[in-house]
Amino acid sequence: DAKTTQPTSMDCAEGRAANLPCNHSTISGNEYVYWYRQIHSQGPQYIIHGLKNNETNEMASLIITEDRKSSTLILPHATLRDTAVYYCIVSYGQNFVFGPGTRLSVLP
Amino acid sequence: DAGVTQSPTHLIKTRGQQVTLRCSPKSGHDTVSWYQQALGQGPQFIFQYYEEEERQRGNFPDRFSGHQFPNYSSELNVNALLLGDSALYLCASSPLVPLTRNGHTDTQYFGPGTRLTVL
């Protein structure tokens, strides 16, 4: 079973920030938090990952709470092309256990 | 720099047949993992190959087997196909980072997948 829980779906207005939450209350000390997204029928696309500190790259920001029991993926200026299923995964040295993810719909 | 590639893109088979799917990892990656994704669900881990050996395996029957070649490319074989094997098959590659005795699999990069339909 997946070690994460995410909302089933979310909507976001185009141009606004999309904030996708993820709960991982049983995360172990050495497990990383990974985010991927999957646009219809394509392979999952890597977005970002982190261990303890907040991370930012050209695609998104990852905010991890101090107790590491939850995290938020932030897409700063969502576009229609960001419509996808977003997966939050916790893992160390093991292969990924995917949950159902969050279906993000970016609306014009 | 080529990413992960998979072939074929689509495949149609009938029940009882056998199928072979192929994967070439991203340049610099030596670990290959295979996942099965049924319609409307998240991907499920099948197995992982490193140094031409199966290192980890998910909850899949022996009908699912694999191979890794010296150039790190990999094949997934499925025998005695069932209707329920219809799915998107994903290959992911990563470098194995030897941070501990068991190693740590770094970020996985996925290929576009092979859509298998069993009739």
Q: From the first residue on, what is the mean pLDDT of each consecutive set of 10 residues in chain A (108 residues)? A: 91 97 92 94 93 93 96 97 96 84 97
- Contact B41/A44, CB-based, under 8 Å? no
SS3 B19: strand
CA–CA gap between residue A89 and residue A67 (Å, rounded): 17
- Contact A99/B104, CB-based, under 8 Å? no
- Contact B56/A100, CB-based, under 8 Å? no
Q: Residue A35: what are its φ and ψ, rounded to 5°?
A: -125, 135
Q: Which of residues 35-74 of A touch B (CB under 8 A)?
A: 36, 41-46, 49
Angle (CA) B34-A22-B86 rounded to 5° is 30
Closest CA to A10 of A55, A74, A66, A53: A74
Q: What pLDDT, on the 0 to 100 scale, is given for residue B107?
A: 87
Looking at the complex, report in whole angstroms how far the Cα of residue B116 sits from the nearest Cα belonging to chain A. Answer: 12
CA–CA gap between residue B64 and residue B46 (Å, rounded): 8
Q: What pLDDT, on the 0 to 100 scale, is given for residue B43?
A: 94
Q: What pLDDT, on the 0 to 100 scale, is given for residue A53?
A: 87
Between the alpha carbon of residue B6 and those of residues A45, A56, B21, B91, the distances in Å are 15, 30, 8, 7
Q: What pLDDT, on the 0 to 100 scale, is given for residue B98?
A: 61
Q: What pLDDT, on the 0 to 100 scale, is given for residue A85?
A: 97
- Contact B108/A46, CB-based, under 8 Å? yes
Closest CA to B114 of B85, B82, B94, B80: B85
User: Which value, to the nearest 10 degrees, does the dihedral of the CA atoms of residues A96, A62, A57, A74 take?
Assistant: 110
Contact A102, A93 (CB under 8 A): no
Helix (H) or strand (E) run with residue B100 in it: none
Q: What pLDDT, on the 0 to 100 scale, is given for residue A1?
A: 74
Q: Which ranges of chain B have pLDDT less than 70?
A: 1, 98-105
Beta-carbon contacts below 8 Å between A and B: 54
Looking at the complex, report in whole angstroms how far the Cα of residue A42 sits from the nearest Cα belonging to chain B. Answer: 5
Q: What pLDDT, on the 0 to 100 scale, is given for residue A65?
A: 96
- Contact B58/A95, CB-based, under 8 Å? yes
